[in-house]
Amino acid sequence: MEPGPKETQPLIDTNARLSLDDRFQFDCGPHVPCFTECCRKLQLVLTPYDALRLRKRLHMASDRFLDELTILRRRTSHGFPEVMLRMDPDSGKRCPFVTEAGCSVYEDRPGACRIYPIGRASTKHPILDTREEFYFTVKEDHCRGFEQRREWTVREWISDQGVEEYNRLNDLLMELYVLGSRRRRAELTPQHVQMFMMALYNGERFREFVLKSGFLRRFDVDPDLVERFDSDDIDLLEFAFQWLKFALFQEPTLSIREPVKNP
């Protein structure tokens, strides 16, 4: 479930489910009295794709980005650590990227900020073992956006805010969380945590691990994909999810090379 980035408890009516074609009324911007109020008192989890977009926007190496702009929350229901954006304690836990003119990293803002004030969730059918995706509105006391007259369908909002790629890559993280919740009998070991953080939040180290260690001698990876790893951060991130499913949960997402037999 992705209710939005707020620390306070908003009014979330998950019973009032919205489809992609359902309509809601909302607008945001400098013309709305509460502009940037949703950027304070935040506990904002950064997904791997969020972190990738932000560090590239800021021209920061992964190690520096993690050290200077994030904190790690270790106690979670799924067992994996969560990377949180470090807020400014001197200004009421405001986002470090918000200014009087709005978001200074708007084009690369995190997915939770993009989809707000819409939330996204899914339920599992108890008999068919299928999942149904649905949406809902997130309403907070300070927000005046719902008083504006502009109307959207959920589909239009998602497209306008550029949420599609975030949803696609964040779903890969949710799949990992589900595996962690279902199969975890004990806390992840420190080694598992290091693997998770390297693969999903430190692209430079994971790229070196894949390309410069003995990784490719052990695993059978498409040569065209390997070639793209050198420059394509998205392909590398998607592959990181496959590797973690294999390494942590023995999912059949990678193929081990057959040993070379001596003549």
Whether residue 149 sits in one domain with residue 109: yes
Token pair in block for residue 139: 């309403």
Q: What is the mean pLDDT of residues 170-174?
A: 94
Whether residue 116 sits in one domain with residue 77: yes
172 assigned to some structural domain: no
pTM metric for this prediction: 0.89
pLDDT of 11 above 60: no
Task: Give 207's pLDDT tier (boundaries 50, 70, 90).
Answer: very high
Which pLDDT value is given to residue 32?
A: 96
Residue range of the domain that includes 240 = 188-249
Q: What is the mean pLDDT of residues 145-158?
A: 96
Whether residue 223 sits in one domain with residue 139: no
Whether residue 156 sits in one domain with residue 64: yes
Give residue-wise pLDDT tens across range 217-260. Answer: 999 999 999 999 999 999 999 999 999 999 999 999 999 987 75
Question: What is the rounded end-to-end Cα distance, in angstroms, of the chain?
Answer: 55
pLDDT of 122 above 80: no
Whether residue 146 sits in one domain with residue 29: yes
Whether residue 18 sits in one domain with residue 146: yes
Alpha carbons 206 and 81: distance in angstroms, whole number: 18
- In terms of Cα–Cα distance, which of 206, 158, 197, 155 is closest to 67? 197
Give residue-wise pLDDT tens across range 44-60. Answer: 999 999 999 999 999 99
229 assigned to some structural domain: yes
Q: What is the mean pLDDT of residues 96-115?
A: 95
Whether residue 69 sits in one domain with residue 33: yes
CA dihedral 194, 199, 202, 206 (to 10 degrees): 110
Q: What is the mean pLDDT of residues 8-33?
A: 82
Amino acid type, 202: N
